Amino acid sequence: MAQIIALYSVKGGVGKTASVVNLAGLSALQGRKVLVWDLDPQGSASWYLQAEPESAPKLQQLLKVKSIAEGIRPTRNRNLSVLPSDQRYHDIEHALAEKKDAGFRITKLLDALDEQFDEIWIDTPPGISLLGDNVLRAADLVLVPIVPTHLSERTWFQLKSHLASEKIKPGRLAGFLAMVDRRRSLHRDFSAAHRIDMPELLDAEIPYAAIIEQMGEGQIPVVFSHARHPAAQAYFKLWEQIDRILAKC
């Protein structure tokens, strides 16, 4: 039975896509059969994994239980596949809303892929939406990258409030600090300052690093191209924490 891990954020520009491809890549390196499902119309995760936009399935095919698996594409990395996205998916909210099971369609689609993979990692577009709620309901673990700033802190509590008001209960919710610049006192002190009011915050942190921004040059996750770099090692430490959580799910 596949475990579902979603990278989710109310706010964009927090390192969500870079995190999903690197963390999924680490699971694939362990010999697990892993799928990255790119649900963001920007298609950045697909691009990092070298899946061309034209290879993405049509939206109606994507949202059908019987045909969703036809859109899966292999990557050049062993054990790692991708269900790609592109700009054609900008209408996915409207397409979902027309379904009788609009709030649970993603869960049904994931069930159709369950036997093919050990883990399915989902890159979700930012913002609170019908699609986001679908993913939040379906996930065994929702991971929220948080840049250590007051704005990101605010969006974390917006998400917690939304989950409570809509009575959405993902299997587990966890946050982690991303794009951390330890030269800044706010970044250095954020974790300690919020350890009580953000108990879901994991210990591992992803640094702000040029090498992560440069992933686009070779379209290769850092954990594959520069495994010994401190940024890649930070992803590995985060992955180890996540793996321990998944073992208890």
Which residue has better confidence, 152 or 106? 106
Looking at residue 71, its pLDDT comes to: 94
Looking at residue 199, its pLDDT comes to: 92
Which residue has better confidence, 15 or 191? 15
Could you read off the pLDDT of 88-99 as tens digits, one per residue? Answer: 888 999 999 999
Rounded to a whole number of angstroms, the CA Rg of the chain reads 17
Looking at residue 110, its pLDDT comes to: 97
Which residue has better confidence, 26 or 217? 26
Looking at residue 206, its pLDDT comes to: 96
Q: b/e string for 58-71 if b means 16 or more Cβ within 10 A?
A: ebeebbbeeebeeb
Give the pairing type, strands 80-83 and 73-74. antiparallel
Looking at residue 193, its pLDDT comes to: 83
Looking at residue 185, its pLDDT comes to: 83
Looking at residue 122, its pLDDT comes to: 98
pTM given for the model: 0.95
Q: What does pLDDT average to over the chain? A: 93
pLDDT at 239 over 80: yes
CB–CB of 16/145 below 8 Å?
Answer: yes
Looking at residue 174, its pLDDT comes to: 97
CA distances from 131 to 31, 40, 227 (A): 30, 10, 34
Averaged pLDDT, 16-21: 97
pLDDT at 230 over 90: yes
Task: Name the residue type at position 54.
Answer: E
Percentage of the chain lying above the pLDDT 90 cut: 81
122: nearest Cα among 247, 28, 34 = 34
Distance (Å, rounded) from C-alpha 199 to C-alpha 93?
A: 32
146 has which bridge partners?
177
Looking at residue 24, its pLDDT comes to: 98
201: nearest Cα among 153, 138, 140, 133 = 153
Could you read off the pLDDT of 105-145 as tens digits, one per residue? Answer: 999 999 999 999 999 999 999 999 999 999 999 999 999 99
Could you read off the pLDDT of 47-72 as tens digits, one per residue? Answer: 999 988 778 889 999 999 999 999 99
Distance (Å, rounded) from C-alpha 43 to C-alpha 218?
A: 16
